[in-house]
């Protein structure tokens, strides 16, 4: 009888052990794609980014800023040679690839901006760089796809791009476009990395717009961020990291 009880008890213990193991396995949370900072308690979570699409909020319209853009920038020029006078008078400055951004092939524009807009572009790049500095995407660069246009290049562009406008602020030297789908980076080319870079630059521009330093439009067809700088006596703080942890990071 004792032998029979032991024989029944052993299989029962085994069944209970297997059941607990299965339960623990099914309750284990699914691993999420994430990027860890140098500090182990701060993590980028890609599933979190998917619920915070800042680029969807970047929807300014031309009528909101066109008249101000005209007043604060240069008058449109017909061709590239007319930029020379503005460069001499320092109403325009040259733009070159930097540590923060890369100039794409500019088929319909030229690498010049008003001094205020050039400084603003540098600010955008610096803020973006600071936010990714402690991730494995450190050193990634933004790609500038368009800068200042002439009336001639705008006329050519309108023929191939129905979203282009003959009243474009690109004519006034205070506007630039940033690629939304392409960045310069050494990391793995996967959807998670791309999402993080997209929403990071979108968050940077969102904050700057809230500080009344620019207008921004996410152009779906061109997959770019159209940015128009504002020339203001701005006393806003340079708080590029003020809301980032609360909005983007899990602790």
Q: Write b or e for each residue in 201-213: b if 16 or more Cβ atoms lie within 10 A of its Cβ, otherwise e.
A: bbbbbbbbbebeb
Q: How many Å apart are CA 121 and CA 201, to the nearest integer?
A: 12
**Distance, C-alpha 34 to centroid of its chain:** 18
Answer whether 0.85 is exceeded by the pTM: no
Place of tokens 């562009």: 157
**Distance, C-alpha 223 to centroid of its chain:** 11
| Residue 52 reports pLDDT greater than 80 | no
Strand ranges (E), the chain: 34-36, 43-45, 93-94, 101-103, 112-113, 142-146, 175-179, 214-219, 224-229, 249-250
The answer to whether the beta carbons of residues 143 and 183 sit under 8 Å apart is: yes
Q: How many Å apart are CA 231 and CA 213, to the nearest integer?
A: 7
Q: How many Å apart are CA 57 and CA 229, to the nearest integer?
A: 17
pLDDT in tens, 12-38: 444 445 444 433 333 333 333 444 433
pLDDT in tens, 114-157: 999 999 999 999 999 999 987 888 999 999 999 999 999 999 98
Q: Is 156 exposed, middle or buried (0-12, 13-18, 19+ CB in 10 A)?
A: middle
* Rg value, the chain, Cα: 26
């Amino acid at each position: 009888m004792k032998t029979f009880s032991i024989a029944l008890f052993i299989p029962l213990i085994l069944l209970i052990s297997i059941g607990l193991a299965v339960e623990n396995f099914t309750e284990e949370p699914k691993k999420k794609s994430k990027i860890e900072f140098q500090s182990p308690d701060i993590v980028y979570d890609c599933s979190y980014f998917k619920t915070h699409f800042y680029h969807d909020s970047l929807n300014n319209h031309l009528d909101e800023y066109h008249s101000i853009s005209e007043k604060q920038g240069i008058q449109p020029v017909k061709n590239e040679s007319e930029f020379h006078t503005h460069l001499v008078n320092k109403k325009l400055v040259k733009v070159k690839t930097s540590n923060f951004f890369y100039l794409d092939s500019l088929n319909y524009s030229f690498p010049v901006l008003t001094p205020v807009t050039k400084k603003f572009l540098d600010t955008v790049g610096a803020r973006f760089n600071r936010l990714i500095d402690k991730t494995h995407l450190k050193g990634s660069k933004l790609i500038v796809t368009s800068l200042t246009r002439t009336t001639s290049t705008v006329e050519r562009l309108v023929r191939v791009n129905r979203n282009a406008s003959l009243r474009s602020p690109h004519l006034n030297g205070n506007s630039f476009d940033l690629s939304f789908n392409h960045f310069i980076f050494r990391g793995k080319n996967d959807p998670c990395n791309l999402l993080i870079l997209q929403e990071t630059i979108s968050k940077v521009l969102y904050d700057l717009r809230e500080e009344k330093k620019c207008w921004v439009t996410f152009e779906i067809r061109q997959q770019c961020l159209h940015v128009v700088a504002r020339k203001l006596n701005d006393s806003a703080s340079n708080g590029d990291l003020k809301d980032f942890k609360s909005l983007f990071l899990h602790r």
